[in-house]
Amino acid sequence: MSELYEQLRDAITDERPVVLATVIEGPNAGAKLVLDPECADGFVSVGTLGNPGLDRVVSRDSVGELAAGRSGVRHYGPEGQANEQHVSVFVESFAPPPIMLVFGAVDFTAALARAAKLLGFKVVVADARSMFATVKRFPMADQVMVAWPDEVFDVYAERLGHHDAVCILTHDPKFDVPAVQRAVATEVGYIGVMGSRRTHATRLKRLAEVGVPQQGIDRLMAPIGLDIGSRTPEETAVSVCAEIIANRTGHAAPSLRDSDGPIHRQAPT
Amino acid sequence: MSELYEQLRDAITDERPVVLATVIEGPNAGAKLVLDPECADGFVSVGTLGNPGLDRVVSRDSVGELAAGRSGVRHYGPEGQANEQHVSVFVESFAPPPIMLVFGAVDFTAALARAAKLLGFKVVVADARSMFATVKRFPMADQVMVAWPDEVFDVYAERLGHHDAVCILTHDPKFDVPAVQRAVATEVGYIGVMGSRRTHATRLKRLAEVGVPQQGIDRLMAPIGLDIGSRTPEETAVSVCAEIIANRTGHAAPSLRDSDGPIHRQAPT
């Protein structure tokens, strides 16, 4: 059993997604199986639920649950048959928190990091300027990196998936062009880019010049955030988080990208 | 300079929100601008920070800060450019923070209170059930009241205005009918009511029975929040805050109220 718990512990420590399946009713109650699909050694499976057929079917189902970050009880026949209630298995997913990479240690960054923490993100703030990228300015971030976009993506690119987000707040082509280039080369679910419509038009030219393909450009949410009239950093942070949720769930929300006119309008107050 | 201080003094004396912006670093250190958006003469601006572009951008940002009742230092380029550190401006808001009254000490309440704090609200959580309405459960709230809606509105009704919000999360007609009755009798800018479409249909009947007029009913945002597919308490909190911002700024965002179908849909994950 100890090998099983070691695998589980190592995966959680390394922030790899891992799943623990336990027989909670039926023969072999208490039997356990750990699945560690992204282990350096490949897809690792430790333990058994007491039957090879059951192990195979539960492994298949557990990987699906893990991908969706879900835990719950599933029922099977003695050898893993569907639509039987002979064995109850509790499938417990240990999914690492979603990651948000924020490029640019600017005024908006702290508000965005606070809002993202509310949604459970692991927040990484990165800026090449050591004077701005400090833990003192961003105590709410999980990591503050004094680094260029390339260095950040060298660490995180492989781990970015559907639930993760990249927010580029730099307003400076020196940073945001390489950040966009690397972001569109990942599987990340959300890429938001701050800046006026005019800034973005200029940016699009530069991105085309460096060879970012149109399907990459199409993934950019720019200007960043939902079109709800946000003015302050905190309001903008809420609009970005709302856009991330809407993107993830596939809801047709009014993104600034899809509207026109100025981003900041005079409130009717 | 004396005209500037007179405007500031008059606004404070008359309890109008007013903001004083002062250059604290950069050229023209000490230069000041007073913005008095709700002056009887309309939007009044007195003074200058030394550059028309800077004045314009600082005015825009200051009105946002004022709306949230916040003060702080912001950084700009010489002509008001974002993400530059050439000029530091201290923006001092003279306004009470907006108030959010949350009725119902339920699972969603803590997440909503945290998100509302991000937007600068003074958050009051109220529930008649002393076992649920505790400071221990809602340490992020500014005030936790063990009270019926009538008692809460007896304290706050007169102070509620355009920037304030009432969120009714109780799901229980015993609480939410009196809360809606009192809320629609105030000038509060946002009234959100939680519950399924079916619950709300039943609620509407009861509200009509107790004589809530149609223009009161029309003010209710129910189901509460933008239609962005939120499922968790934290996602719902973001959707409520985004709806509050959109309401305040007059943006046409896709509220759940104005859509149909179930509130929680399966994500395409």
User: Are B238 and A115 a contacting pair at CB < 8 A?
Assistant: yes
Q: For residue B19, what are the CA distances in angstroms to A188, B62, B118? A: 41, 7, 20
Does residue A269 surpass a pLDDT of 50?
A: no
Q: Tell me the chain B residues in contact with residue A242 when contact means C-beta distances shorter than 8 Å.
A: 226, 228, 238-239, 241-242
pLDDT for position A259: 61
Of all residues in chain B, the one with the smallest CA distance to A195 is B82
Q: Tell me the chain A residues in contact with residue B83 when contact means C-beta distances shorter than 8 Å.
A: 104, 106-107, 170-172
Candidates A115, A232, A251; nearest CB to B64: A232
- How much is the average pLDDT of A192-216? 91
- How much is the average pLDDT of B169-188? 94
Range with lowest mean pLDDT among A56-60, A254-258, B114-118, B261-265:
B261-265
Secondary structure of chain A in HEC code, one letter for each residue: CHHHHHHHHHHHHCCCCEEEEEEEECCCCCCEEEEEEEECCEEEEEECCCCHHHHHHHHHHHHHHHHCCCCEEEEECCCCCCCCCCEEEEEEEECCCCEEEEECCCHHHHHHHHHHHHCCCEEEEEECCCCCCCCCCCCCCCEEEECCHHHHHHHHHHHCCCCCEEEECCCCHHHHHHHHHHHHCCCCCEEEECCCHHHHHHHHHHHHHCCCCHHHHCCEECCCCECCCCCCHHHHHHHHHHHHHHHHHCCCCCEHHHCCCCCCCCCCC
Helix pair B149-156, B173-183: axis angle to 10 deg: 20
ipTM score of complex: 0.76
Find, among A59, A116, A58, A98, the residue nearest to A82 by Cα.
Answer: A58
Q: Tell me the chain B residues in contact with residue A237 when contact means C-beta distances shorter than 8 Å.
A: 118
Does residue B212 surpass a pLDDT of 80?
A: yes
Indicate the pLDDT class of residue B262, thresholds 50, 70 and 90: low
Indicate the pLDDT class of residue A2, thresholds 50, 70 and 90: confident
User: Are A239 and B242 a contacting pair at CB < 8 A?
Assistant: yes
Q: What is the DSSP letter of B23?
A: E
Of all residues in chain B, the one with the smallest CA distance to A121 is B234
User: Are B83 and A170 a contacting pair at CB < 8 A?
Assistant: yes
Candidates B119, B162, B227; nearest CB to A269: B162
Which phi and psi angles does B90 have, rounded to 5°? -90, 120
Residue B119, min C-alpha distance to chain A (Å): 6
Does residue B261 surpass a pLDDT of 70?
A: no
Read off the tokens for B63: 């009105």
User: Are A172 and B83 a contacting pair at CB < 8 A?
Assistant: yes
Does residue A266 surpass a pLDDT of 60?
A: no
Count A/B contacts: CB-CB distance under 8 Å.
140
Range with lowest mean pLDDT among A57-61, A139-143, B1-5, B238-242:
B1-5
pLDDT digits (tens, 9 = 90+) for B77-97: 999 998 888 999 999 998 878
Whether the CB-CB separation of A110 and A137 falls below 8 Å is answered with yes
- How much is the average pLDDT of A203-230? 92
Q: Tell me the chain B residues in contact with residue A268 when contact means C-beta distances shorter than 8 Å.
A: 249-250
CA atoms within 13 A on the CB side of B187: 7
Rounded CA Rg of chain A: 22
Does residue A118 surpass a pLDDT of 90?
A: yes
What is the model's pTM? 0.76
pLDDT for position A212: 95
Choose the mutation target among B108, B224, B251 for the interface with A, i.e. most A CBs under 10 Å: B251
How many helices (H) and strands (E) are present in chain B, helices listed first? 8, 11
Indicate the pLDDT class of residue A41, thresholds 50, 70 and 90: confident
CA atoms within 13 A on the CB side of A47: 24
- Looking at the DSSP assignment, which residues form a beta bridge with residue A100? A123, A165
Does residue A186 surpass a pLDDT of 90?
A: yes
| Greatest C-alpha distance within chain B | 64
Candidates B38, B60, B241; nearest CB to A264: B60
Candidates B64, B229, B241; nearest CB to A238: B241
Q: Tell me the chain B residues in contact with residue A245 when contact means C-beta distances shorter than 8 Å.
A: 228-230, 235, 238-239
Indicate the pLDDT class of residue A65, thresholds 50, 70 and 90: confident
Read off the tokens for B30: 């000490």
